[in-house]
Chain A
Amino acid sequence: MRLSTLVEEAARTATAQRVSSAMVAVLCAAICTVTLLTVGRTAAAEETVLARLDTAGSRLLVVSDDRDAGLVTPAVLQVLSGLDTVERVVGVDTPFDVVNGVVGDGAERVPAWRVAGDPAQVVSLVEGRWPAPGEALVSDAARRRLGMAEPFGFATDTAGVEYPVVGAFTARAPFEAFEAGLVVVADPATATDSVHLVVTGVEAARITEALTLALLAPPDLSQVSVQSPAALADLQRAVSGDLGEYGRGILLLTLGGGAFLIAVVVLAEVLLRRRDLGRRRALGASRWALVGLMVNRTVIAAMPGAAVGTVVGLVAVMRAGDPVPVDFAVAVALLTVLVAAVAAVLPAVLAATRDPVSVLRTP
């Protein structure tokens, strides 16, 4: 029997035997809908939680040279910027106070951060130009507090050092704290107090932390302090593991239950249509052709059911406000059809191995 003929014959049989086809379709629709409403929502929740844990703020690793031992050198920053696990890296000094240089002492103070490395890693330029070493950018909030009409002029620290202001910035996540003041570009030859690294993912935090400490090579680990998202990585793994395990359990239960019911429907059909199957054998259908026919007709009945169930499930979870990824929904539909096919195999084999003669005899 040709494969194309077998599929065509299976389709004709599925159409002709409406009741069992409808039952298989309804079961598949139910499997898809229930899976999307349970596992799908769990997957969506897991994705949301993981996305929150994966924001830039959650990926910030800060290693501080607490004793000003000159550990965070430009060379160290250069090496760190080349790591695959590092998205961005800058050296940052402890903030110091500055005032509007035009107004002088007594004016309102704002913090300023000396940043080593590319300032574009921490701020976006909104007006003016990128500063040279010793020059500064000012945030809009700090400009107002300093009483500057434009983001140009100069600021002075408590020691009287002047910092020309050459433009305005907005801070990039996770450096929003800089919105409170100025960012001063450090002298490229000097070391800074700390290194701020945005790692590519929280899972990369631990290895990046180890590499950074190895590069800084402090004589004594008590010389440095570390703020690491490594704990978040553990939390991410725990959340992912717990939700994933819960989802898998529900999925297995749903698919297993559905497969059992589909197998029962196919088995009932096999038992009810013994003469039909015996006739097919007598007319020349091999056992494998019979198994193929039964499995294919189950798959053909399952497909529209899975499609309808997936659409219904998607609409339901969207209304509930938990958008499930479309690829997940498609995977659920395909998995359901596959489960229907597997569930049909055993009854089909049973049908194919029954003695056709006994059912064809007329007493």
Chain B
Amino acid sequence: MLAVDDLHFAYRRGRQELFGGLTHEFTPGAVTGVTGPSGRGKSTLLYVLGLMLRPSAGQVRYDGQPVHGLSDVDRSHLRAVQVGFVFQDAVLDASRSVLDAVVEPALYAGARRRDVVGRARELLEELGIEIRAEHRPGEISGGQAQRVALCRALVNDPRVVLADEPTGNLDRDNADVVLRVLRRAAQAGRTVVIATHDPYVLEHVDEVLAL
């Protein structure tokens, strides 16, 4: 359901172009690893797929429909409802609780907080950190923070999960947890795309897209 056609991207007009007309269809239910040398646009591709950046040429399609030209409101809504983001560091709000962090995307998708708290707690429990629900990010470890970020990415039950170097700051045990969760997300039918240069991560993906 997620695909790109003849994709080009430049941060500024006249600057170096990325992707060189990339055409690719991401397989639902599979984990795709996007890899390549630094500067080839691994993270940029994720942000283009996540509708945070507009391609300078080509198309991004969701369910066959080009979506890159939608308005900011429509792209934001699509992102909130259909896309889950996982960043290299968890990017949690230090002033809010773990539970607040997990609930957050659902609010942007139009849900009421009270309607989504139960689902958020379930996800935290699945990842073994429900006991930390009321803690602040400063009170949990890096591995736990990334698990919180995974819960946050999955709270809206998105069809696409985009993970930018999700294990970059983690030790091997925590990296395994993250990869296991992403694998499970893919097995549930989601399209999972991981940008990484880590060979260990690439050993755990189903498909590799080299830039």
Contact = CB atoms under 8 A, between A and B. Distances in A.
Interface in A1-47: 1-2, 4-5, 8-9, 12-13, 16-17
Contacts, number: 83
Given A8-B113, A357-B47, A357-B52, A285 B95 contact: no
B53 A2 contact: no
A281 B87 contact: no
A283 B80 contact: yes
A211 B72 CA distance: 67
B77 interface: yes
A286 B113 contact: no
Chain B interface category by residue count = 35 or more
A171 interface: no
A279 interface: yes
Interface residues of A, number: 29
B108 A356 contact: no
A286 B72 CA distance: 6
Contacts of A282: 50, 52, 79, 85, 87, 91
B202 interface: no
Given A357-B47, A357-B52, A284 B88 contact: no
Interface in A255-296: 275-276, 278-289
Q: Is the interface of A mostly helix, strand, loop or mixed?
A: helix
Given A287-B72, A362-B168, A356 B52 contact: yes
Interface in B38-75: 43-44, 47, 50, 52-53, 72-73
8 contacts: A1-B110, A5-B112, A276-B93, A278-B91, A282-B50, A284-B109, A360-B91, A362-B165
Question: What are the 10 closest A-B residue pairs judged by CB atoms, nearest first?
Answer: A284-B80, A284-B108, A286-B76, A16-B95, A362-B88, A283-B105, A284-B79, A279-B91, A286-B73, A285-B108
Interface of A: 1-2, 4-5, 8-9, 12-13, 16-17, 275-276, 278-289, 356-357, 360-362
